[in-house]
Amino acid sequence: MKDKSNNTNRNRKKAPGKKKKGIQNSNLNIESVNCYVCGKPIKEIISAIAYGPNGEATHFDCVLKRLREEKDIKEDQKVQYIGNGMFAITERKKSTPENPLEFNILEKIVVENKEIKPEWRIDIRDNTVG
């Protein structure tokens, strides 16, 4: 995991006498969850991946993008979701008549930490056996 510490030193001067009245945001949609990577709201929370260090919700596509960047995926390789909170870097095997869609798993990437039960995750899989 990369440590992305922001070292920008900003001068935070308080402007005296410039008090803005805070907008009351009690009517905000609390249900909406923003993506850990791109910050945009996640519409389909069911398809989101718990990617952040604390299981933050992340777009499936954003996780894919990040993994591709991090892992330096080659042209004949792919990042695929293999289930159970895991992704895999796969490489296509030479297709044979028997196995036209065979691929090798080069590396498994565990993305979701099973220890973390994020709040945003609606448990629709009540019957899952841990």
Is the Cβ of residue 35 or residue 79 nearer to Zn ion in the bound state? 35
3-state secondary structure the chain: CCCCCCCCCCCCCCCCCCCCCCCCCCCCCCCCEECCCCCCEECCHHHCEECCCCCCEECHHHHHHHHHHHHCCCCCEEEEEEECCEEEEEEECCCCCCCCCCEEEEEEEECCCCCCCCCCCCCCCCCCCC
Q: Which of 49, 50, 51, 59 binds Zn ion (CB under 5 A)?
A: 59
Is the Cβ of residue 38 or residue 106 nearer to Zn ion in the bound state? 38
Binding status of residue 66 toward Zn ion by CB under 5 A: no
Binding status of residue 38 toward Zn ion by CB under 5 A: yes
Is the Cβ of residue 37 or residue 79 nearer to Zn ion in the bound state? 37
Query: Which residues lie near Zn ion (CB under 5 A)?
Result: 35, 37-38, 59, 62
